[in-house]
Structure 1
Amino acid sequence: MSETGWAIIVHGGAKDIPPGLEDAHRRGCLLALAAGQAILEAGGAAIAAVEMAVRALEEDPTFNAGHGAVLNAAGEVECDAAIMDGATLAVGGVAAVKTLRHPISVAAALLSRTPVLLVGAGAEAFAGAHGGELCDPADLIVARPGDPGCDTVGCVALDRHGNIAAGTSTGGLTGCHSGRVGDSPLPGCGLYADNVVGGVSLSGDGESLIRTTLAARLMHSLEAMPPGAAIQAALTYLARVGGEAGLIVIDTEGRVDWGHNSAQFAVAHARAGQPARAFVNRAQDAQEDYP
């Protein structure tokens, strides 16, 4: 990577996108990308870019995260989120939270503190004590004509200083058991970042991603192969337990790639010197310089 190189990729979840909503998913991903890209273009940190991009996805009711999260079996919103700094390997996560407008920012507040993961009322109390944006749970519920899908949003970014960060946020599964925690807030399952290797953010069937520690497996593959091959190796391994997934990757050289075995996977990406682009299927993305 050159001194001025940066890269960013965001995703809106590996899932079937309802008819007529593909443009909303592309547009939402592009808006989130722009929020993070502005920070990177100004010389800002990857960790800040990831937080801002994921906040934008949490604010967009198109996606199953934050405002617009799906409801569990009790008819409640319960959200999970995590963020990881590849420079220090610091990670922060929250799970099963009901009153946080932006779970990703509360996760980010944990990066410099001892707890790695806080859940439920404890996470909400921490948010209240550290400037987190609390809200009425009803404010997160959005009426929709159909199911938005049950998946995670996320972002990976590389800044001009060579630092990599990754983040995830989700509203979980429609109708899931109260207190269920998926892969999203778990490092090595739903995300990971390490300046020595790269950064990844995943979406899909959470229990399958946990059983395979798929983010960790993807990172190990990145040590030996380019992103495209590492993604395919991870998806092949996932077949052992079944399930769908979408994966986004940036490696230390600034190579950006993504893949999925789900029907669709909304993604937007940009790099220094290249325009932002958005897609809902990997086959649509014909960028020639992927490894």
Structure 2
Amino acid sequence: MKKSIGLIFAAALFALTPMSLYAQDSSKTAQDSANTAQDNSKTAKDSSKTAKDSSKTAQDSSKTAKDSSKTAQDSSKTGSNPKSYASVSSLIANAMHAAKDDRAIETSKGGIVADDARVYVDAVQAYYDAAKTFSASFDQSFETVDGVKKASSGVVWFKKPGLMRWDYEKPESRFLLSDGSFFWSWEPVYRQFCKQNLATSQLPTALTFLAGTGRIEDDFSIKLGTVKGDQVELLLTPLTPSLAFESIRFDILMPTAKVYRVTIYDAMGNINKITFKSPEINAPLDDASFKFVPPADAKQICD
């Protein structure tokens, strides 16, 4: 399985998800867990009236409820804090380890491409195989399973081999960057950054075609979606499911075969939609734009 920019872009899929929304989800899940535990405690106490053995079960369940409630309160405090970046980074790190385990059982045969999708898949692949650089502005909309929405926008650049940069301009300044050896994320508002070694990262590959380092069908089964004139949908299902995505939809524009929108559906039911505007390939890009030196007052919160 090819790595390079494909893994970098996959890392971006994790980082592109708004951190505060992940924290809110974590808080809600913890609170639900506490409520469930309290209900279990009540049921156990009722059972103790009819059986002596149930009394011990009730006490254990009550203790579990208290512990779960305390965990929920702690988690809720973390989730409500907009600066709780470190705890969310731990969530992402756990997902990365899960993805590493998933890759061990991944098939090398590749996915299945539906006959009516073949011509479009080949056209998209050829377009990005020819790209030495890729740049575009983008709009991103992220919606949680609970309907919470967040919009952002910025500019993205890719350069072979292994260089990437996402510059967010709204709602606040931040960026994600790969210098070919490390993956960086920097949020100047909080003076915090993450640094991850690409050589040891084992994230699921996604959108490897964007830098021409892999083939879409190596990692996905592909079906044809809606076709409206020159606008075509490709529906991708990963051969190896992950927390980052259960399915992806490419919206492409023919006859150029440019992918102008990517919609990512993750395992939690969230929807992450990225629309590329004015994409350009093979424009000159300076390698210096893909380097980052943390400021002296910056705090590293994950690695």
Same fold (TM over 0.5): no
Bigger relative contact order (CA 8 A; separation at least 6): 1
Higher strand share: 2
Higher helix share: 2
Using structure 2 for the length normalisation, give the TM-score: 0.24
Larger Rg: 2
